[in-house]
Amino acid sequence: VGQIRERGRKGALTALRDAALLKTVYAYGLRRREAYGLDLADRRHSPTAAQYGRYGAWFVRWGKASKGGPPKRRTVLTVPEMDWIVEVLEHWVTEVRPLLHPGPLAAVWVNERAGRMSMRSINEAFASARQAAGLPTELDLHCLRHSYVTHLVEFDYPERFVSEQVGHRYASTTALYTGVSDEYRRRLIRRALQDRTELWEQR
């Protein structure tokens, strides 16, 4: 956004939108279609996290369907480790989105023509960010979902919680997404050694 403004070029608003969109995909582990289908009415208060206001959770209506079935629905909670997303979303919804003149449109992510942002445009937003960051072209939007799962595991959230957050029916599916860091593995080893030492001391 800063580079666009410095060059006096158009597109600062859409760059702000794309940044907020990609951060939201990561902060909630969303699939592309799930992000595409978000409406303002899908914002939810969380009884256990009142400080997040209307961004305590999202009601996801376009989850991946089972074969022949309707889209699955779920509520995705805002986790404290990623609560920076609340400020991002508030800024987008209250200050930036209105500048695109969406009128009565319910969609969270809107385009320059005051319509719902397309799934192709969502892919293009990721591709632009990937190129700007110098990341490999093999990466696609779904890698943000993989990162989300990995980080929830590293934050020590229970397997069942992680699966419910991302809408996986089986924990084994969630496990396929996980690629924990070396630091996390070292932490697990240190914890296991500490527990073992304490057990021996108790004996």
Residue whose structure tokens are 């209250």 = 94
Give the max Cα distance, the chain: 71
Inter-residue contact 127 to 139 (CB < 8 Å)? no
Position 181 confidence tier, pLDDT thresholds 50, 70, 90: low
Phi, psi of 182 (to 5 degrees): -60, -40
Into how many domains does the chain fold?
1
Among 19-28, 49-58, 172-181, the minimum mean pLDDT is found in 172-181
5 has a pLDDT exceeding 80? no
Position 11 confidence tier, pLDDT thresholds 50, 70, 90: confident
| Catalytically active residues, by annotation | 31, 67, 142, 145, 168, 177
d(CA 74, CA 102): 26
Position 64 confidence tier, pLDDT thresholds 50, 70, 90: confident
176 has a pLDDT exceeding 60? no
Instruction: Give residue 152's domain range.
Output: 2-202
CATH code where residue 37 lies: 1.10.443.10
91 or 71, greater pLDDT: 91
For range 56-74, the mean pLDDT: 89
The SS3 call for residue 97 is helix
In whole numbers, what is the pLDDT of the chain averaged over residues? Answer: 87
For the stretch 110-155, pLDDT in tens is: 999 999 999 999 999 999 999 999 999 999 999 999 999 999 988 9
Inter-residue contact 110 to 100 (CB < 8 Å)? yes
Number of neighbours of residue 44 by Cβ within 10 angstroms: 16
pLDDT of residue 73: 93
